[in-house]
Each structure stands twice: as structure tokens, then as C-alpha cells.
Amino acid sequence: MIGPELKFKGQVVIVTGSSSGIGKACAIHFANQGAKVVVNYSSNAEAGKDTVDEIVKRGGEAILVKADVSREDDVLAMFRETINKFGRLDVLISNAGLQKDAPFLEMTLQEWQKVIDVNLTGMFLCCRAAARQFLAQEKAAEGTSHSELSIGKIVMMSSVHDIIPWAGHVNYAASKGGIMMFMKSISQELAPHKIRVNSVSPGAIKTPINKEVWSDPAKYDELMNLIPYKRIGTPQDVAKAVAWLASDDSDYVNGETLYIDGGMTLYPEFSDNG
Ligand code: NAD
């Protein structure tokens, strides 16, 4: 069943990387609130189909689109398919991301490049396509809408590692730090067009990306030293915050990063007097 509060009724939402983890939770959360959702995956079609099936089972609407966000032709095709199917776009959740960890001294160019390509260039390609679409549909509707509200919303999936340095993961931290300035700069550029751009920065969220930490009790206990709120986050914790940033409830919020981290960015090592 679709939930009682249909904040996104009739709106079309693309969630990149929604075959798993946080993206999957976002896709389901938006569908529960009435959105038509484009579920994107890059390699695991079965997992992408699971997300679509879950939405349809609850009475929602979704399509599955294969696209590698780091490839321009794939991204353009995904946006074309969205418009062909649903006729418009209202929200982009640019979520797809990955890690290829290695000590800096041993990191290969390939490991560096892959993470930058998916996590940062993927944002550029998807956000540019979304902004162009928002403007094109606004132009086509010229004069018919008298709303003061945003004509299109973008939420990027960053990480606490856009401000917390991360040894052994320099490609990932550099990509997320890059998202911070990319997000703020395009927000500044697109705000006059009434396009809102913001990001969320999750801390430790229980998804396949960090399974080796939360599935090992000793590592989980160690992780809790970094989280004042003393629990790992859930994909739903993130999805709810993402939905707020994509909704008209946050219409006056531009270029902000919302940390969803149980206090991880509060310098917990100083909680006992340093
Ligand atoms: P996940 O591995 O469960 O999901 C990643 C998703 O991205 C998958 O659906 C995957 O198919 C997709 N993806 C990977 N490469 C892609 C590509 N080239 N094109 C399209 N899709 C691609 O991990 P997650 O934890 O859900 O991660 C989602 C986002 O959240 C990432 O950007 C990640 O950096 C960010 N994040 C996660 C955490 C956490 O603790 N889980 C914390 C901070 C930020």
C-alpha cells in the first residue's frame, strides 16, 4: 500500500544505484509517497528487479533502467528512457557510489580513476542531465505555472568523508570532498533558475558497502567508539532525510549538506575531555 502522506504524488524521481543499500531504501521511500520511480542499476539486474518488485507489490510505480553513471551515453539514455516513459522529471537522487580501497602508496591509477569516475564524474553527468531536463520542461510549460516553488530538485549522496579525512581510502575521500564543492557550485549557478541542489552525508550506514565492519562483532564495537549515538544507521534513516531535502518542505534550502551520522562528525574522541 502507498503510505498516507503522498508528498511526491505525480512526481518523477530517478534514484541512481537503487539496486542496493541506501539507493534502494530511497526508491522505496519515494514510491511509498506517491512518486513514479526510475530504479537504476549498473550490473546486478536481479537486485534492481527486486527493488522494482517491492515497489509494485506495495501498489507503487517504477521502471528498471540499466546505466553506468560514469558513462555519458548510458546516462543520456537513462534520462531519455525516463522521459519516454513518464514524460517529465522532478527529482534526481544522485546516489550511485563505490569504494576501491588501498593504502595510498599501493593505490593503482585504475583504483583511483574508477572511484573518481563513478562517485564524482557520475554526479556531474547525472546532475547536468537533470538540470537540462528541468529547464527544458519549464520552458515548454512557460506561463502555465504560477508556483513560487522549485522547478526541480537534486540531492547528492556524499559522505562524512567529505570533511573527515580517511587514510587508506584517499580516492573515496577525494571523490566525496569533490562532491561538496561541486554541489555548492552548481547550487549557486542553478538557484536563479529555481533548481535546488543539496547533499546528504551519511556516517556508518548498514549496507553491503561496509558489511565487513558491521558483520564482525569486534569491528562493530570499535565502530561504536566513533558514533556518539551508539548505533549504526539504517538506509531508511538516510532515505527520510533525502526525501525531506527533495520535498517542498525544504524549499528555501540551497547548497546545504545534511549530516546523517549519529554524531560521527562531532569529534567523539573529545567527549571524555580530549
Ligand atoms: P551499496 O554498495 O549497497 O550501493 C551502491 C549502489 O551504487 C549499488 O546499487 C550499485 O549498483 C550502484 N553503483 C555502483 N557503481 C555504479 C555505476 N557505475 N553506475 C550506476 N550505479 C552504480 O552501498 P551504499 O552504502 O548503499 O552506497 C550508496 C551511496 O551512499 C554511495 O554513494 C556511498 O558512497 C554512500 N555512502 C554510504 C555510506 C554507508 O555507510 N553505507 C556512508 C556514506 C556514504
The 3-class SS string of 135-179 reads HHHHHHCCCCCCCCCCCEEEEEECCHHHCCCCCCCHHHHHHHHHH
Inform me whether the pLDDT recorded for 3 exceeds 60: no
What are the pLDDT digits (tens) for 20-61? 999 999 999 999 999 999 999 999 999 999 999 999 999 999
Averaged confidence pLDDT in the chain: 96
Catalytic residues, by residue number, are: 172
Report the alpha-carbon distance of residue 223 to residue 230 in Å, rounded. Answer: 9
Query: What does the alpha-carbon distance between residue 184 and residue 64 come to, in Å, rounded to a whole number?
Result: 30
Residues near ligand 1 with C-beta < 6 Å?
Answer: 16-17, 19-23, 40-42, 44, 68-70, 95-98, 118, 157, 159, 202, 204-205, 207-210
Residue 5 — very low, low, confident or very high, per pLDDT cuts 50/70/90?
A: low
Share of the chain above pLDDT 90, in %: 93
Q: Convert the pLDDT of each residue in 114-173 to its tens digit.
A: 999 999 999 999 999 999 999 999 999 986 877 899 999 999 999 999 999 999 999 999
Copy the grid coordinates of residue 96: 550511485
Provide the pairing of β-strand 61-66 with 91-94.
unpaired
What number is the average pLDDT over the span 216-229?
Answer: 96
Measured in Å, residue 24 CA sits from the centre of ligand 1 at: 10
pLDDT attached to residue 1? 55
Q: What is the DSSP letter of 251?
A: T
- Which residue's C-alpha comes closest to atom 34 of ligand 1? 97
Place of cell 593504502: 103
Q: Which atom of ligand 1 is nearest to the CA of 157?
A: 32
pLDDT in tens, 89-128: 999 999 999 999 999 999 999 999 999 999 999 999 999 9
pLDDT reported for residue 77? 98
Q: Residue 231 to residues 200, 222, 228: CA-CA distances in angstroms? A: 19, 12, 8
Domains of the chain with CATH codes = 12-260 (3.40.50.720)
